[in-house]
Structures are given as C-alpha cells and as structure tokens.
Amino acid sequence: MTETTDALIIGAGPTGMALSIALHQAGTDHVLIDRLDQGQNTSRAAVIHAQTLESLHTLGVAKQLEDLGLKLTRFTIRDRDRALLRLRFDELPSRYRHLLMLPQNVAEQVLADRLAALGGGIRRGVTATGIVQDKDGVRVTVNEGGMERIIAARYVVGADGMHSIVRDATGVAFDGAAYADSFVLADIHMDWPLGRGEVSLFFSPEGLVVVAPLPDGSFRIVATMEDAPELPSIADIQALIDARGPRGTRAVARDVVWSSRFRVHHRLARSYRQGRLILMGDAAHVHSPAGGQGMNTGMIDAIVLGQLLADVVKGARPEEALDLYGELRRPAAEEVLTLSGRLTAMATMRNPLRQFVRNLALSAINLVPSARRRMEMNLSGLARASLAVLPASSPAQTAAAPQMRPSARRTASRIHA
C-alpha cells in the first residue's frame, strides 16, 4: 500500500513540529512521523533566544512560550567568584529583550498544541527504514504498527537527529568529530547563593559548569566531565558545583529531578539538500551546548524551510530555489559552531597561562560596550537575523516555475492500493 503526500517530515522534535506548523499555515500537504510512541518528557534544551522568538512569532506560539517561561536579562561568565564578563539582553534591538528559560519538553507541548489547533498531528511509532529518490519523487519504506508500507513524497525532510536516516540516504558527509569530554546534564533543586536572576557560566581548572534557573524553581546544570556516570547523582552534582562554582558561599544541592550523561559532537553537513532530500536541525548540524544554540538554530531552520518549501510546492518559486535554504542556513550553522566551539574551548582550558590570558581577554571585553554588544547579539541570534530571511520571489521566478498542482489541504490518510 502506498500513501502519497507533497512533503514527508521524519522526526517530530521541536524542529519537525515547527516545520509542520509552517506548512499547515501555508496550506501545504504533508505528513509528520516519528519513531517514538510518545514525546520526550525530559527538558534537555532549556533556553530560547530573541531571534528564535522573533521567528516563532510567525508560527503563533511566541506568546504561549513566554507565558510559560522565565525571562532573564543577564548572562555572566565567571571564574569561580570573579565575574569576567557580564552580558545584558534588556537593550536588544528586538521585541524579545531577554533569554527565555523554558524546558524543551514544555516548548514541545506548546508546539504540539499549536499543531493540533491547525488540524495537524504526529504519526507516532512510525520508523523510516529505507529511502529511495528519483527524478519524480521519493519512496520511503516505513514500519508502522509492525506493518511495512510505502509513503511516496515529492520532498522528504530529515529532522531525525544526528543519526539521520535521511542524511545517510543523501550520502552527504557530516564533517567534524566528538569532544573528548562527556557532558553532564541535570535539573536539580538547590540553595543557590547567586539567586535566580542570571545564567552563569563558570570557568575553573577542573572544567566548566553552567547554572541556569528554570521556571519551576529548579536549576539546569550543564558540565563537562572526563568520565561522567550514566545517571549523575546528587553527590556528583554537588562535587561539580563545589569544585567549579562560587567559593564565597557554598551552594547546596537538594535533589535531582532528572540527570543524564551525553557525548557532544561538533559536526556540519556539507550540503543541506541533495535532490528532493533536505536536512535540518541536528541532522544538519550538532555542536556543544555552550551558549544554548542547538534547538534555536534548528527551529529557525524549520521556519525558513517551511516558507520556501511551501512556495516551491505551490509553484511560486522554481524547485531550484530550494538551494536558498542551504545558502542561508548553513552559514548560520557555521557561525553557531564557531561560537559554541570557542566558548567550549575557553571553558575547558587546562593550561594556567592560557587561563590567565583568557580571563584577561574577557575582562577587557567587559570594559568595551561595543564588544559586549557583539557578544550579546551573537548569543541572542540577532547577529544572524539576515540568515533567516528569504528574498522575495519575483514575478519572473513565478512565471518560470514549472506548473505544479496546487496543494490544497488534504488529509494524511489518502491510501492507494
């Protein structure tokens, strides 16, 4: 049995759902599948930046996210008790002049609710097992409920993470490597001497630790660790904070909401498109969590691609215009990899002389308003705003586009024997 659609999105994390919402708003026929029977219930990513909120405003979800999140205006880089660089976001050139702290699972629920309000949904428990494309389209073999079937799509978008089956099908190289250290990720309750008004990134000879308040009263902890346990305990977290956090007044970790260990890669796909196969989010780029850019970059990928793919399906742009997506978003990912890589390299320096020079350089930046503003613009994503804007389609482009059948909204249950 074969099901047909204009676009198949594989992967229903925040990136896949953002694309689905954009396509629904444009009236573009598509199917969204995910191999998991239910969404993740852990928070993982925890910050949404100003430029991302600007983009999410177009999907009609920014207000709901803001209502549920914790708005912070300060990000401080510290060496134990010494503040090296204080960044502020309350004067950003944006309607969203803050960092929005919000666990990923909550953000995903907001996206899922918006998708449902538009008449969409996620086909869960559906695993893509094979992808074949030709000049006319793509045939994807899926396993659904223990049965094998075919979904035939004009375009297939891989929002299926670092181990993407879509990227494998493209043959596109995923250049990069893994970081030597593992990372600890945890949400905990604790007595924190610095309060709940800022995100703090601590440098120390033992490595980095990031402490960020979350809206439910807990704190997000991210730390490098040479050989982290699979499920870091409260004692492990306390030891990290004692060794790397403030010394003047001791923080006291009370309990762990959840914790995990993970390995981080810094990788970038050489191309975001190969024919009718398109990559976005972690399928196209992965990097260190320093700076909190991962989920943000992926959702902006989705919003840009949604506008472009809808235009191509409707015939408002020629198919070749899909290359604009990679031309915009791959340079944005390159900048993000550079930013997160530099922050990670600075935070994991072991050489005392290099640590001294690093601290001196950051303290110097702190004294120069224009230098601080560049850092604020980079972290907020606003420095990359031009890489999230499509050029307008010209009448000449529209006239030159091949005549394509209009894509009225159709249900995803059209089955052809």
Is 400 a residue whose pLDDT tops 70? no
In our burial notation (b when 16+ CB lie closer than 10 A, e otherwise), range 150-159 reads ebebbbbbbb
Please, which pLDDT band fits residue 39 given cuts at 50, 70 and 90?
low
CA distance 417 to 351: 66
Query: In this predicted model, which residue has the larger pLDDT, 164 or 413?
Result: 164
Do β-strands 147-158 and 2-10 pair in parallel, antiparallel, or remain unpaired? Answer: parallel
pLDDT for position 41? 55
Q: Is the pLDDT of residue 407 over 60?
A: no
Mean pLDDT, residues 267-282: 97
Say if residues 268 and 262 touch (Cβ distance below 8 Å).
Answer: no
Model pTM score: 0.91
- pLDDT top residue among 133 and 392: 133
The first and second tokens of residue 246, run together, are 């403030």
CB of 370 within 8 A of CB of 383? no
Better-predicted residue by pLDDT, 292 or 128? 128
**How many CB atoms within 10 Å of residue 161?**
19
Q: Which two tokens stand for residue 412?
A: 């995803």
Burial class (CB in 10 A: 0-12, 13-18, 19+), 287: buried
Answer left, alpha or beta for residue 60, where phi above 0 means left and psi between -120 and 50 means alpha: left
Residue 263: its pLDDT value, please?
Answer: 84
- Domain boundaries 2-71+103-177+268-416, corresponding CATH code: 3.50.50.60
CATH class of 179-264: alpha beta
Cβ-based neighbour number of residue 93 at 10 Å: 11
Report the pLDDT value the prediction gives residue 399, as an integer from 0 to 100: 45
Q: Are the C-beta atoms of residues 69 and 79 closer than 8 Å to each other?
A: no
Instruction: Specify which of 168-182, 214-228, 257-271, 375-389 reaches the highest per-range mean pLDDT.
Output: 375-389
Percent of the chain topping pLDDT 70 = 93
What secondary structure, in 3-state letters, does 292-306 show? Answer: CCHHHHHHHHHHHHH
In the chain, ranges of CATH 3.30.70.2450 domains = 179-264
Task: Delimit the CATH 3.50.50.60 region(s) of the chain.
Answer: 2-71+103-177+268-416
pLDDT at 170: 97
Residues contacting residue 190 through CB under 8 Å, at least 6 positions apart: 219, 241, 251, 252, 253, 254
What pLDDT shows up at residue 347? Answer: 82
Q: What is the chain's mean pLDDT, rounded?
A: 91
DSSP string, 237-277: HHHHHHHHS-SSS--EEEEEEEEEEEEEEEEEES-SEETTE
Give the β-pairing of 137-144 and 47-48: unpaired
Which residue from 81, 63, 101, 53 is spatially nearest to 217, judged by alpha carbons? 101
Give mean pLDDT, residues 241-258: 94
Nearest 5 degrees, angle CA 258-CA 211-CA 347?
115
Contact 183, 226 (CB under 8 A): no
